Structure 1
Amino acid sequence: MKETGVKAFTLAFILAGNGCDPAWDGERPLDGDDAAQIKRIRDAGGDVVVSMGGSDKEGRKLGEVCPDEQSLANAYQKVIDAYQLKAIDIDIEKGEFESPAAQDRELGALKILKQRNRDLKTIVVFPVDRSGPNDDGKRLIRRAHEIGSDVDVFTIMPFAFGGTDMTRDTISATEGLAREIAGTFAIPLEEAYRKAGISSKNGGVEETVWLEDFHNFLDYATDRRLGRFTFWAVNRDRPGDPSDDSGSGIPQRDWDFTKVVARYSGALVDPAREPQN
């Protein structure tokens, strides 16, 4: 925070602990070291968004373990209450993303949470193709509209999709997302951009997202006034091995990518600047 000016972080992941009960990584209690970390961030003038779900977490996600939308909402509410959160992030991937029942359970839970917590902002994060949301992503957006989930920002992960020019392919994917939101919600494209977000990555192995790409993303997000611009992840934002998430795998200085994201001031969700940890 001192070196980059970043004011907030998305902390991941909340998973299922004992049954339909939230825990950090499915193991650590809500009142443990992670709570102390959140306090340190807030004491330094920042804030947090908490993310539930994840990619390689099959069978451990609350959205898969909790039997219905009410119990899932109750589990998420425990996290909201534990940290007095202003915003939550639901990361829907792999089997959960491809399951209509799981999608509906997540969206139904978000609808309940919005009814309970008037000022809560909700973010849904999901994979994407280079041209925009695939059929599963389109269904997710459509069902959110149909059942009135009132999702604030639909955020795509524009990577691991065979991109070659990551600036071009990320912008193409985001434009596809915005068009899908505009068509589904029958709103102007300018308004749809406010409900659209990018959660990129820094560095990489098969695909590489360079610092120049991030500067291009910042310009694009600023021009379109996107609802969110973030990335995975702060702990990779330094030179090092990307295979264990301890480095980006490319030449860089510590916190280069975070400094770019910290400059974005147009996010809809408050807190506004959220490189993921």
Structure 2
Amino acid sequence: MATKNRAGASVPTEAVQVAELSDRRLSPLRVCIAIVVLLAVIAAGFLGARSWASTQADPTQAQPWFAGYVDVTATPTYEFETHGGTDTPDAVLSFIVSATTDACTPSWGTAYTMDQAGDTLDLDRRIARLQQGGGTIAVSFGGLLNDELAVNCTDEAKLEAAYASVLDRYKVGTIDLDLEGAGLTDSAAVDRRATAIAALQKQRRAAGDPIAVWLTLPVAPTGMTEDGTDAVSAMLDAGVDLAGVNAMTMDYGSSLTEGDSMAEASEKALTATQRQLGVLYSRADITLGTATLWAKVGATPMIGQNDVADEVFSLKDAKRLNAWAADKGLGRMSMWSANRDKTCGSNYTTTSIVSDACSGVDQGDTFFADVLATGFTGSLAAGENAAATTSEPTLAAEIADDPATSPYPIWSSDASYLKGTKVVWHRNVYTAKWWTKAEVPDNPVLNDWESPWQLVGPVLQGETPIPQATLPAGTFPEWTGAATYLKGDRILFEGVPYEAKWWTQADSPEASAADPDSSPWEPLTQADITAIVSGTPAG
């Protein structure tokens, strides 16, 4: 890309002087001096080239980066070219959408074509100024209010050309696809977009001008929606090499658990997103390690007052989320939006209503950008040169389970597990959410509710088996089909204790696993067994 540095310094004057010496008679001393100078120049050039190559060509050197979103068309105009008073040099400019007159013509928020933005907003010059100062921009396509290009631009060649025209004009190498509304739910648009982006990325990589592609998606504390995971799958199926998935950690609404802070809800959402991303890559026959998956996750909170009245992302939330994200190794941190990163003025009396120009919280002299950017010191541009995503080897020895060093029994496909039972599998501890048998704890399901197992965390160093409460044989009578059972009666069936929910005869407890609501039998929980063994009431 034109924004990237190139090795091409002017020839030092010492080298010119050496060339001129060849036309004159020189004393031996002057010849020696000339040779030394020439060797020094060559060495400096070689070392400089090596230094430049080591920092630019090695994709593993890319560090997590921060860039706030800038609403280009909002008023008052945000001066992203001067960083708005913060120390963060990069920005994500939003939103490119279809023009109202032609779906295949890019526009800024339907308000300006790119030419009009250049004239009215002086946008090209401001971008160039940021780039001259060492900053980098990404361009975000989509958003909530208007149509992302792929929604109504049905000609794939024109669609690809539309994306390319934006990148070429602003000399950028990162596409941010903010998919909301029809941009996310229209399956035909999802497929068109994936096809166009895949072709564009392949073409530019072949030309030595790679682009990074981020999907920005809505999330709940349980992770991406089904539409979101479908959008990721479509990209991977089309052959797009995703830089990552950027989770919009905001506006949770009814999915927000009572008592959770915005930071806590965001941590849950990001954890679930990272797990889902691993499943999606696995289904695409690409195995990625934990660290790589975290590096492919981004977070974008809405600073201050969110669109949901009761949700406020405070500076305290920002500090906590930043520390957590840095510890996990997230590849990206952003925020909506840089335009809003200041305290509202005294004339703005209703801070519970979202403003485009202020956060709605008292920030004092602190910027959300500076808090969220802490530790995210990489450049957005570095990610554009990242190596292609490929499968990473897994070492079986790293996930082998040893009963002697596991706090709970190793999961077995032959065993039945009651609600609340803890097991160890692949060096992680899981808890059964309901009665289960033969369902692998780390089965790669996209949604948490699809699995009977809840991940608790890793087995810790130095752990040993914790004694488990079990019921001695004969504690309850064995179930028989001929017997009549009343509500509250308890029996054993294949070693598992059950309690009758109502009068029953000839109804096998085995059916409770397939249809628990209709079955008259309910398996006891591990807590029930512990209480029975200890002689204390459960609960």
**Shift of the alpha carbon at 1:271?**
5.9
**Structure of larger gyration radius:** 2
Aligned counterpart for 1:195 among listed residues 282, 286, 296: 296
Distance 1:233 1:155 in 2: 15
Structure 1 residues 155-174: Cα deviation after superposition (integer angstroms, max 9, x where no partner): 11011112341111101111
Amino acid at match of 1:190: A
Higher relative contact order (CA 8 A, sep 6+): 1
Comparing 100-109 with 224-233, greater Cα deviation is found at 100-109
- 2:358: which partner in 1? 247
Amino acid at match of 2:145: D
**Shift of the alpha carbon at 1:255?**
5.6
Distance 2:343 2:128 in 1: 28
Aligned counterpart for 1:25 among listed residues 90, 95, 109: 109
Amino acid at match of 2:133: A
Amino acid at match of 1:15: V
Contact 1:121 1:269 (C-alpha < 8 Å) held by counterparts: no
Amino acid at match of 1:188: G
Please state if 1:149 is matched with 2:240: yes
Please state if 1:178 is matched with 2:282: no
**Shift of the alpha carbon at 1:201?**
1.0
Matched ranges for 1:95-174 at <5 A: 95-118=182-205, 119-162=210-253, 163=256, 164-174=260-270
DSSP 3-state at the match of 1:101 = helix
Please state if 1:235 is matched with 2:339: yes
Distance 1:70 1:224 in 2: 40
Q: Which runs of 4+ in 1 moved over 6 A?
A: none
DSSP 3-state at the match of 2:313 = coil
Aligned counterpart for 1:13 among listed residues 92, 95, 98: 95
TM-score, normalised via structure 2 length: 0.48
Distance 2:85 2:291 in 1: 34
DSSP 3-state at the match of 2:305 = coil
Amino acid at match of 2:314: W
Please state if 1:204 is matched with 2:305: yes
Distance 2:358 2:95 in 1: 19
Contact 1:229 1:267 (C-alpha < 8 Å) held by counterparts: no
Structure 1 residues 134-178: Cα deviation after superposition (integer angstroms, max 9, x where no partner): 111121222222221111111110111123411111011111111
Aligned counterpart for 2:323 among listed residues 189, 213, 219: 219
Distance 1:16 1:271 in 2: 29
State the superposition RMSD in angstroms: 2.0
DSSP 3-state at the match of 1:74 = helix
Amino acid at match of 1:270: A
1:8–1:185 CA distance, 2 compared to 1 (3 A): same
Distance 1:196 1:247 in 2: 27
Structure 1 residues 26-72: Cα deviation after superposition (integer angstroms, max 9, x where no partner): 23232402212212212332121111111111xx3212121143322
1:50–1:253 CA distance, 2 compared to 1 (3 A): farther
For these two proteins, the number of residue pairs brought into alignment is 270
1:194–1:149 CA distance, 2 compared to 1 (3 A): same
What runs of 5+ residues in structure 1 fail to find an aligned partner?
A: 273-277
- 1:275: which partner in 2? none
What runs of 5+ residues in structure 2 fail to find an aligned partner?
A: 1-82, 283-287, 345-350, 384-539
Comparing 10-19 with 29-38, greater Cα deviation is found at 29-38
Comparing 92-101 with 158-167, greater Cα deviation is found at 158-167
1:268–1:97 CA distance, 2 compared to 1 (3 A): farther
**Shift of the alpha carbon at 1:250?**
0.9
**Shift of the alpha carbon at 1:266?**
6.0
Structure 1 residues 116-146: Cα deviation after superposition (integer angstroms, max 9, x where no partner): 2222111111111111011111212222222
Please state if 1:82 is matched with 2:183: no
Distance 1:113 1:267 in 2: 25
1:271–1:22 CA distance, 2 compared to 1 (3 A): farther
| More helix as a share of residues | 1
TM-score, normalised via structure 1 length: 0.90
**Shift of the alpha carbon at 1:253?**
3.0
